[in-house]
Amino acid sequence: YGEASMAVHSQKKLDLDGLKYFRDRFSVPISDEQLEKEIPFYRPSDDSEVMQYMQARRQALGGYLPSRRDHAPALPIPALSTFETLLQSTGDREMSTTMVFGRLLALLLRDKTLGKRVVPIIPDEARTFGLEGLFRQVGIYDPAGQLYEPIDADQVMWYKQSHNGQVLQEGINEAGSMSSWIAAATAYANHNVAMVPFYIYYSMFGYQRVGDLVWAAGDIQARGFIIGATAGRTTLAGEGLQHQDGHNLLAFGQVPNCISYDPTFAYEFAVIVHEGLKRMFEAHEHVFYYVTAMNENYAHPAMPEGTEEGILKGLYSFSKSAGKHKTRAQLMGSGTILREVIAAAAMLEAEWDVSVDVWSATSFNLLQREGVDCERWNTRHPEAAARVPYATQTLNATQGPIIAATDYVRAVPEQIRAYLPGKRYVTLGTDGFGRSDTREALRRFFEVDRWNIVVATLKALADEGALPASKVTEAIKNYGLDTEKPNPMTV
């Protein structure tokens, strides 16, 4: 009685036999007659052994009310100039944003004050992500040290384990890796020592495998960075349905205190991580970061002047057209698909006499979140001057339709439609199952490559009456687009 007797969750009371069993088991001085009439409230006397024990235990735990401790000293965050090499143009050198992350992590680990607090966590994929340099720089943590000769012992970047190593190489164990991340991300509260964990993994194997732990991390106010590497439905070429992630970015955006970004260029990545370090470990904000990283190599431009605020808010002007064409359009993208957007803009200028302004949308998630906040405030302050969402402020005065393309499901860019009143807004995305093919073929299949972006732009202009529909048909023929191919979402 009363022990493991819970047939349904809605069971709230013990029956009479169960109450009697409980009374006898714990020596509660209540008679059968009292139980059969109305159960009395019973409180042991303050000098009883039971009460003294319970109160002693509560005092040992710090009192009667649960509380969150946040007394860890703030960490000195290096200036943004520490990442100067990532803010400058790479010239002809090409690298992926995963490589950018590796360089940024190496710079942080070298910092004399912050470096010892950094916790790199990698489930099995260190070499895939190009992070094997960490083996030599800080070593892999193993409490027993190196007990065998690794197969790559003759290489410079050999699998070096030591009892004072810093990298947590977890094996194929996302739940364990996430748990390690949570342990480090809550050390500021549990141990009064702030740690800076970076957990990097195949993005497809993140949220959908450890979603409960992600929400738990938010609930317990964890602080740190989660890096969704090889992100994007078309960027991880050749690995098919299992690996190609087009939706985890959207899922992370639903966690209230998760700050999520999809950067394209090295300077964006550096600005985002630097701001995260300041917010979490200098200002003690109860947030954590999810940042995507890709494995596609390309050249990175220098950081345009005055873009830092826009990068952090989720949208900034990447380039403005100097063209004097009669028609104009706004193209927007994030992650590696921003590069397709940039290429499409050049094609529209050169081949179709359309002036195009290009926008980098580092976070549709944050744009939507800020827009909702403005709407809520306006509803509760009906006579005050209305707050205008940042997306509206930024794009309201632009000319022509707005076309947004990402490597994720269309629901990602669709989040800001409500904040573009009076604008023709077209979204392109990668809804559907992944495929094993080249990046070029995948982007053609999902209709997010430069040619499909051009056609979508021309169609939007035609719908506005800015050019004849025949121009759209001409572009479709010129680019060899199959008008009768199945919708990627249905096959």
- The CATH number assigned to the domain holding 228 equals 3.40.50.970
In the predicted structure, residue 486 carries a pLDDT above the cut 90: yes
Separation of alpha carbons 23 and 139, rounded Å: 58
Six token digits for residue 185:
């991300």
Q: What is the CATH number of the domain that holds 463?
A: 3.40.50.920
Do 30 and 172 lie in one domain? The reply is no
In a domain, 123, yes or no: yes
What would the pLDDT profile of 102-114 be if each residue is shown by its tens digit?
999 999 999 999 9
Last residue of a domain, one of 13, 32, 67: 67
Per the CB < 8 A criterion, the answer to whether 199 and 226 are in contact is: yes
Residue 424, pLDDT > 90, answer yes
Query: End of a domain among 14, 37, 67?
Result: 67
Please indicate, yes or no, if residue 298 is contained in any of the structural domains.
Answer: no
Residue 250, SS3 per DSSP: helix
CA distances from 83 to 105, 133, 266, 387 (A): 10, 18, 10, 35
Kindly tell me if the per-residue pLDDT of 349 is higher than 70. yes
Q: State the residue for tokens 């025949």.
A: 470
Residues 204 and 121 in one domain: yes
Residues 62 and 85 in one domain: no
pLDDT band at 170 (very low <50, low <70, confident <90, very high): confident
More confident residue, 154 or 340: 340
124 plus 265 within the same structural domain = yes
Q: Which domain holds residue 366?
A: 314-490
Domain for residue 302, yes or no?
no
- Indicate whether 53 and 87 sit together in one domain: no
Q: How many CB atoms lie within 10 A of CB 163?
A: 11
> Are 209 and 173 members of one domain?
yes
Count of the separate structural domains present in the chain: 3
Is 308 contained in some domain? no
pLDDT in tens, 17-74: 888 988 999 889 999 999 988 889 999 999 999 999 999 999 998 888 888 889 999 9
Are residue 43 and residue 160 in the same domain, yes or no? no
Do 31 and 155 belong to one domain?
no
Say if 297 falls within a structural domain: no
Residue-averaged pLDDT of the chain: 93
Which pTM value belongs to this model? 0.91
Choose one of 227, 261, 292: the last residue of a domain.
292
276 within 8 A of 225, measured Cβ to Cβ:
yes
Q: State residue 49 phi and psi, 5-degree precision.
A: -60, -40
Same domain for 275 and 212 = yes
Residues 30 and 84 in one domain: no
Q: Are strands 316-319 and 354-360 parallel, antiparallel or unpaired?
A: antiparallel
| DSSP secondary structure code for residue 359 in this structure | E
Determine, yes or no, domain membership for 362.
yes
Within a domain: residue 301? no
* Same-domain status, 200 and 327: no
Mean pLDDT over residues 426-439, rounded?
Answer: 94
Residue 215, pLDDT above cutoff 90: yes
Same domain? For 429 and 331 the reply is yes
Query: How many Å apart are CA 281 and CA 255, to the nearest integer?
Result: 20
